[in-house]
Amino acid sequence: MELIIQAAFLCSKNIRRVLDIGCGAGNNTLKLLHATHPFDCDLIDLSLPMLERAQARIAAVNPREIKIVQGDFRTLELPEQGYDVILAAAVLHHLRNDQDWETTF
């Protein structure tokens, strides 16, 4: 997790908006917030209870906009070039075939 956060911070020092795919309880977004300044974030997960937990945890330390989206990231419409950082630390292992990989990226 530390390497992911370090890479994100080094690649984009002026982080304004983050997408966390498969956010779970928000651990990766929280780690990134501790490395940088507050930012808007969109959180995606299949589990509504996890999204709500992540939103509460992140809102406790981040005054910026937090949007939660319950669903499968492979089927959601996301804005092109809409994020400074995209975190996907715990979901890529769920991609099962070439079509999943092509659709995702």
Residue 51 has a pLDDT of 98
Q: What's the pTM value of the predicted model, to 2 decimals? A: 0.85
User: For residue range 54-102, what is the model confidence (pLDDT) as tens digits?
Assistant: 999 999 999 999 999 999 887 888 888 889 999 987 777 777 888 877 8
For 2-104, CATH gives 3.40.50.150
Residue 39 has a pLDDT of 96
Dihedral of the alpha carbons of 39, 46, 88, 50, in degrees to the nearest 10:
50
Kindly give, in sequence order, each residue whose CB lies less than 8 Å from that of residue 104, ignoring residues fewer than 6 positions away: 73, 74, 92, 95
Phi, psi torsion values for 63, nearest 5 degrees: -80, -5
Residue boundaries of the structural domains of the chain: 2-104
User: For residue range 7-58, what is the model confidence (pLDDT) as tens digits?
Assistant: 777 778 789 999 999 999 999 999 999 988 999 999 999 999 999 999 999 9
